[in-house]
Structure 1
Amino acid sequence: MTTPPPGWTFLSNHGHVLVSLAADPDVRMRDIAEQVGITERAVQMIVADLEDAGYVLRERVGRRNRYTVVPGRRFRHPLEAHVPVSAFLALVTDGPDGD
């Protein structure tokens, strides 16, 4: 487990969970909790928030879930409302746009 640095960070737990889901669509809630440094229950609540707001789609694959981040969704705060989630994720993931 990576221990988060003390004090504040630039991303909220919602942002950290979104990054984890984008990096690995098949990731387990327990693994996200460990990466972010929060409880598994907190991760479940955040994923539900992200699903309800249309930022994440969940697909059942056998006994597991696969998560797809909706790249065209925009940030919620007025200061960043012009930024699509895909542009943010390109900065923080190793996807095709985030080398």
Structure 2
Amino acid sequence: MEKSHEKEATGWTFLTNHAHVLILLAQNPERVLREVATAVGITERAVQRIVSELEHEGYIQRSKEGRKNNYTLNLKRPFRHPIESHCSIGELVKLVQRSDLRPSEHTEMAAQ
């Protein structure tokens, strides 16, 4: 598992694991949670808990397609903390979106 130099050196990052999971699902809504866990650097069980919390709060919607899950983000949902509640999840996704990745149609649908 590859870690960023910043995280290795200091032990913290600016974004939470919840944000990391959300961003990865925005990049690829069909990504399996084991891959998400590896990318974030946490256990698969922790990712399952985070996905459950995000789903319960209306930030993502999970749907089954065969044996796979698909995740649709609700990009209009605001951040939870009062300091940043004027910002939407869509703004976060846009801020960190990699130029080499196209937004998923699941992400785009939720933004409309």
Say which of 76, 85, 95 aligns to 1:81.
Answer: 85
What corresponds to 1:48 in structure 2? 52
Tell me how far apart the structure 2 counterparts of residues 24 and 43 of structure 1 sit (CA, whole Å): 15
Deviation at 1:52, TM superposition (A): 0.3
Which residue matches 2:69? 65
**Residues in 2 aligned to 1:27 and 1:51: alpha-carbon distance in whole angstroms:** 16
Map of 1:25 onto structure 2: 29
1:3 shift after superposition: 1.8
- 2:13 matched residue in structure 1: 9
Unpaired stretches in structure 1, ≥5 consecutive residues = none
Counterpart amino acid of residue 67 in structure 1: Y
Structure 2: which 5+ residue stretches go unaligned?
104-112
CA-CA distance at 1:2 after TM superposition: 2.7
Q: Matches of 1:62 and 1:25 in 2, distance apart? A: 14
CA distance in 2, matches of 1:93, 1:26: 17
- Structure 1 residues 3-54: Cα deviation after superposition (integer angstroms, max 9, x where no partner): 2422110001101000111010000000000000000000000000000000
Q: How high is the TM-score relative to the length of structure 2? A: 0.81
Deviates more, 1:26-35 or 1:5-14: 5-14
Which deviates the most, 22-31 or 86-95? Answer: 86-95
Runs of 4+ in structure 1 over 3 Å off: none
Deviation of residue 93 (structure 1)? 1.4
Bigger Rg, structure 1 or 2: 2
**Distance across 2 between alignment mates of 1:89 and 1:47:** 16
Number of aligned residues: 96
